């Protein structure tokens, strides 16, 4: 299996970064070398051909992946992304991060991730539906409520989860709502799931401000990325008095040191589908957003955004990683040396998988909770995880990323120790 995973040039690819973090955490915890060796390799890798008939009548073949990293603590859990840059190394890295993330918030899952190499912005809704149903059918041999439960990720949404649910259910002859999470509420989805990742980001940002002796209501915030997580983060932070001074999406970025009118921006994007041409701030580049004057920076886009090149110029006091792996190891080293407090992705964005767990439980029981109950349970879990990571950070005198890795890796390693090795 390792032969089909490739180390990237310079060792700065997402899989290289995750393996390096694992090695450091395992060494610090003095984990049994045999367990460490097992954790470095995903349990299953499935590569599938996804042929569909395009609207033109021609057949086009896409490539899809589903990687299951670990089942030590329970069934696998992880999103599905549709993006032109999806590749096996990225999906494997994200599956490993999901394993640690689930363990950090102490929910009974292992990590998985899936993706299809495609550009949904260049596809019709009918092509996306055919792609989704064929991909779901191909990976159905390894997914299921007690095996692996997919969820939305980049460029996927509740509608796509509904199609996966329907495809899986039709092949079994009865409805199986617990096969996916992040699905529409009318199909058994959970209230609060759509904004759960952002709400988790808000909870840990609030906790971090308190830990650092700051007030969120008097802090300036820059948010890179304005998809589901970025837009909801901006709205929730704005509603709680935080001043959002810069935001960006694929069409560009804007900056307003006096604070951006977030409700007005959300209304603009609802009508225009992009941030471009919004008049509420000065147009800047994505590079300038990462380096702008702000107290808190929230990268909520793709991997590898904060690097050795731009880390020396970042002015934020706190970085809360809403995206997966937005900081390279070289960039992270510089941020630590400069005393910038980084809340790592496996803690910061764990709100989504936590409420996915709530949704899975509700779907299995067919007993549903109020949004207030969901949000209160989420706050309790995120606060507990934050407290436990801080405790490890102070005990071992390490940065918060390593402390979170140690908490997650340690829990998975403990489960592996008690399960043993079969046969």
Q: How far apart are the first and last CA of the chain?
A: 19
- All CATH 3.40.50.10860 domain ranges of the chain, comma separated, are 42-178
Closest CA to 193 of 365, 359, 364: 359
Note the helical H segments in 173-224. Answer: 196-211
Q: What pLDDT shows up at residue 39?
A: 97
CB-based contact 264:284 (threshold 8 Å): no
**SS3 of residue 151 by DSSP:** strand
Query: What is the residue-wise DSSP string for 327-378?
Result: B-HHHHHHHHHTT-EEE-HHHHTTHHHHHHHHHHHHHHHT----HHHHHHHH
Cβ atoms within 10 A of the Cβ of 212, count?
13
CATH topology of domain 42-178: Rossmann fold (3.40.50)
Closest CA to 189 of 310, 56, 36, 366: 366
Q: What pLDDT shows up at residue 6?
A: 62
* Separation of alpha carbons 81 and 83, rounded Å: 6
- All CATH 3.40.50.720 domain ranges of the chain, comma separated, are 196-348
Q: What is the pLDDT along the chain (423 residues), one digit of tens a residue?
A: 656 666 555 556 789 889 989 999 999 999 999 999 999 999 999 999 999 999 999 999 999 999 999 999 999 999 999 999 999 999 999 999 999 999 999 999 999 999 999 999 999 999 999 999 999 999 999 999 999 999 999 899 999 999 999 999 999 999 999 999 999 999 999 999 999 999 999 999 999 999 999 999 999 999 999 989 999 999 999 999 999 999 999 888 999 999 999 999 999 999 888 888 898 899 999 889 999 999 999 999 988 899 999 999 999 999 999 998 899 889 999 999 999 999 999 999 999 999 999 999 999 999 999 999 999 999 999 999 999 999 999 999 999 999 999 999 999 999 999 999 998
Q: Which residue in the list 113, 183, 191, 243 is annotated as catalytic?
A: 113
* 243 assigned to active site: no
Q: What pLDDT shows up at residue 225?
A: 94
Under CATH, which number does the domain 196-348 receive?
A: 3.40.50.720
Helix axes 88-104, 351-365, angle to 10 degrees: 80
Element holding 297 (H helix, E strand): strand 296-299
């Amino acid at each position: 299996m390792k032969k089909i995973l490739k180390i990237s040039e310079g060792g700065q690819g997402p899989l290289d970064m995750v393996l390096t973090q694992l090695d450091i955490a395992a060494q610090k915890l003095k984990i049994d070398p045999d367990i460490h060796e097992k954790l470095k390799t995903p349990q299953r890798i499935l590569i599938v051909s996804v042929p569909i008939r395009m609207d033109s009548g021609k057949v086009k073949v896409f490539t899809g992946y589903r990687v299951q990293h670990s089942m030590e603590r329970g069934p696998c859990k992880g999103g599905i992304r549709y993006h032109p840059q999806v590749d096996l190394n990225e999906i494997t890295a994200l599956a490993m991060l999901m394993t640690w993330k689930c363990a950090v918030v102490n929910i009974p899952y292992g990590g998985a991730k899936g993706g299809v190499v495609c550009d949904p912005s260049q596809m019709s809704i009918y092509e996306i539906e055919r792609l989704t149903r064929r991909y779901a059918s191909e990976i159905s041999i390894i997914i299921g409520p007690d095996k692996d439960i997919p969820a939305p990720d980049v460029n996927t949404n509740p509608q796509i989860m509904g199609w996966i649910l329907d495809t899986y259910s039709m092949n079994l002859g009865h409805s199986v709502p617990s096969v996916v999470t992040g699905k529409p509420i009318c199909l058994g989805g959970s209230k609060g799931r759509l904004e759960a990742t952002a709400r988790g980001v808000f909870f840990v940002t609030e906790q971090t401000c308190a830990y650092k002796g700051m007030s969120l209501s008097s802090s300036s915030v820059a948010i890179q990325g304005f998809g589901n997580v970025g837009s909801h983060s901006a709205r929730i932070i704005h509603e709680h008095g935080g001043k959002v001074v810069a935001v960006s999406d694929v069409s560009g970025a804007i900056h307003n040191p006096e604070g951006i009118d977030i409700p007005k921006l959300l209304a603009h994007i609802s009508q225009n589908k992009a941030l471009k041409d919004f008049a509420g701030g000065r147009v800047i580049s994505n590079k300038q957003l990462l380096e702008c004057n702000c107290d808190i920076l929230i990268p909520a886009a793709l991997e590898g955004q904060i690097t050795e090149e731009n880390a020396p110029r970042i002015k934020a006091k706190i970085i809360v990683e809403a995206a997966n792996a937005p900081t390279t190891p070289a960039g992270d080293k510089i941020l630590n040396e400069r005393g910038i407090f980084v809340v790592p992705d496996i803690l910061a964005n764990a709100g989504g998988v936590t409420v996915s767990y709530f949704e899975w439980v509700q779907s299995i029981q067919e007993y549903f909770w109020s949004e207030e109950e969901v949000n209160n349970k989420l706050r309790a879990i995120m606060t507990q995880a934050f407290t436990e990571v801080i405790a490890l950070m102070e005990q071992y005198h390490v940065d918060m990323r390593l402390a979170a890795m140690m908490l997650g890796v340690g829990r998975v390693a403990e489960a592996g120790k008690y399960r043993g090795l079969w046969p």
